[in-house]
Amino acid sequence: GENVEQHPSTLSVQEGDSAVIKCTYSDSASNYFPWYKQELGKRPQLIIDIRSNVGEKKDQRIAVTLNKTAKHFSLHITETQPEDSAVYFCAASRQNTGNQFYFGTGTSLTVIP
Amino acid sequence: SAVISQKPSRDICQRGTSLTIQCQVDSQVTMMFWYRQQPGQSLTLIATANQGSEATYESGFVIDKFPISRPNLTFSTLTVSNMSPEDSSIYLCSAQRGAGGTGELFFGEGSRLTVL
């Protein structure tokens, strides 16, 4: 099955700085890569996703990049705010073939005011 | 989006007993999955709930321990059988809508089980 690794496990940044979280995956057939944000005691919620036919996607302060050859993808958060503090999970999935989503180990992001 | 309701939201169970978690989606979905999340840990896929047939289990999870049903496109149950303290965790139902099962994966609020 798919193996998704995620780094770092914890990340602290000053408010206004950027944060970068990196993931690698093992299954070259994975073609959909979402990122989820989970606040304490809450359900995971999708913040951005990217498909394998795209190299980069941006949504306001959040961007995701994908390198299919190297099988890694990254989440970039610019101008961080205290409300960005949460645990972030990357995931990989083969859409249209099983569709199972496999998650990384998570990154606990703390934005220091 | 899809609204997913799970119950119970939490329970305290005795060792050796079984508990069934129910998951209801507000509209028809293509795919449903069950995850386990231990405190401070990642989401581990238990199985894919297949409508009208046996669930597809991930390595390390077996039907005898985690029987799953999915009688229709909006409802699924997960039973945690013969529980031990190691089964204490949050169990999350998730669903995906879309032609061929493409698109966002939505989660329920989770069911927090504590086994004594």
The 10s digit of each residue's pLDDT in A65-74 is 999 999 999 9
The number of C-alpha atoms within 13 Å of A52 and in the hemisphere containing its C-beta is 17
Instruction: Find the CB nearest B48 among A46, A100, A103.
Output: A100
Q: CB of A49 within 8 Å of any CB in chain B?
A: yes
Q: How far apart are CA B20 and CA A3, in angstroms?
A: 29
Phi, psi of B87 (to 5 degrees): -85, -5
**Confidence at residue B2, expressed as pLDDT on a 0 to 100 scale:** 76
Give chain B's mean pLDDT: 93
- A101–B109 CB contact, under 8 Å: no
**Confidence at residue A103, expressed as pLDDT on a 0 to 100 scale:** 97
pLDDT band of B78, cuts 50, 70, 90: very high
Share of chain A above pLDDT 70, in %: 100
Q: How far apart are CA B68 and CA B50, in angstroms?
A: 9
Share of chain A above pLDDT 90, in %: 90
Q: CB of A101 within 8 Å of any CB in chain B?
A: yes
B23 CB neighbour count, 10 Å cutoff: 26
Give A84→chain B minimum CA distance, Å: 18
A59 CB neighbour count, 10 Å cutoff: 10
Phi, psi of A27 (to 5 degrees): -90, 110
Quote the DSSP letter at residue A69. T
Burial class (CB in 10 A: 0-12, 13-18, 19+), B14: exposed
Share of chain B above pLDDT 90, in %: 79
Give B82→chain A minimum CA distance, Å: 26
Q: CB of B51 within 8 Å of any CB in chain A?
A: no
Q: How far apart are CA B110 and CA B93, in angstroms?
A: 7
Quote the DSSP letter at residue A82. G
AA letter at B70: R
Whether residue B102 has pLDDT greater than 80: no
Q: CB of A96 within 8 Å of any CB in chain B?
A: yes
- The 10s digit of each residue's pLDDT in A11-45 is 999 999 999 999 999 999 999 999 999 999 999 99
Q: Which of A18-27, A75-84, B34-43, B102-111 has the lowest mean pLDDT?
A: B102-111
Instruction: Find the CB nearest A100 among B33, B102, B104.
Output: B33
- B59–A89 CB contact, under 8 Å: no
Size of interface A-B (CB pairs under 8 A): 54
Q: How many helices, marked H, and strands, marked E, lie in chain A?
A: 0, 11
On whether the CB atoms of residues A92 and A2 are closer than 8 A, the answer is: yes
Quote the DSSP letter at residue B82. S
